[in-house]
Chain A
């Protein structure tokens, strides 16, 4: 199985500052079709996960442009510019290159 490893945030993050969350995969998620099979989700307190980014860097419909995804085949970053109160929650990276889908352990964002 592909192992997904997420980094921690130096919480709490001051409102208006930027935050970057890292994620590493144990296998390259870059497919021969040129797409990288990596999603980012945000789970706000008491809610189900919401898709933020797919194909490593494509924002999902309705997602603020303050969120951006980047990376290589095995190292990925979710950047949140100008953190706001609504960004509080747990962020998960997830690979969908192959089954079983696997998730990172989650990175909690707290606001100062």
Chain B
């Protein structure tokens, strides 16, 4: 069974940093491109970032470009999202996702 388990969320002040992790199991992680997708409270879905299976291709939404960094460690079956210069509008539930499977999400709240 495919499992994606996110961690690392929490309450953080504006301008600070936070790093999310997503541990994958139940499939060959190194074969799949992975994404971070977020959902602000009561709102729709917003794609955030993508990384290819071997990290050769990386894309970001314009709203996070220059502030967020997606990375992965295939030996540890883990996906990361380093978030810096956080803003209140980054407050959301962050999902780690293959196209066909999503984790349960981790909440990030940016507030003073």
Distance of B81 from chain A, by nearest CB (Å): 15
Q: Are B100 and A48 in contact (CB under 8 A)?
A: no
Chain B interface size range: 10 to 19
Q: Is A92 an interface residue (CB 8 A)?
A: yes
- A96 to B99: give the CA distance in the assembly, Å: 9
**Which among B16-24, B84-92, B101-109 touches the partner chain?**
B101-109
B108 to chain A, nearest CB (A): 15
Give the number of A-B contacts (CB < 8 Å): 42
Chain A contact patch, size range: 20 to 34
| Bound CA–CA A105/B46 (angstroms) | 10
Which A residues lie at the B interface, using CB under 8 A?
39, 41, 47-51, 54, 60, 92, 94, 96, 99-106
Bound-state Cα–Cα, A28 to B103, Å:
30
Instruction: Collect the chain B residues with CB atoms within 8 Å of residue A54's CB.
Output: 99-100
Measured between C-beta atoms, what is the minimum distance from A103 to chain B in Å? 4
Q: A48-B103, A51-B99 are in contact. Are A100 and B59 (CB under 8 A)?
A: yes
A-B contact pairs, 20 of them (CB 8 A): A39-B99, A47-B104, A48-B103, A48-B104, A48-B105, A49-B45, A49-B95, A51-B100, A51-B101, A54-B99, A92-B44, A92-B45, A94-B45, A96-B99, A99-B47, A100-B61, A100-B62, A102-B47, A104-B44, A105-B44
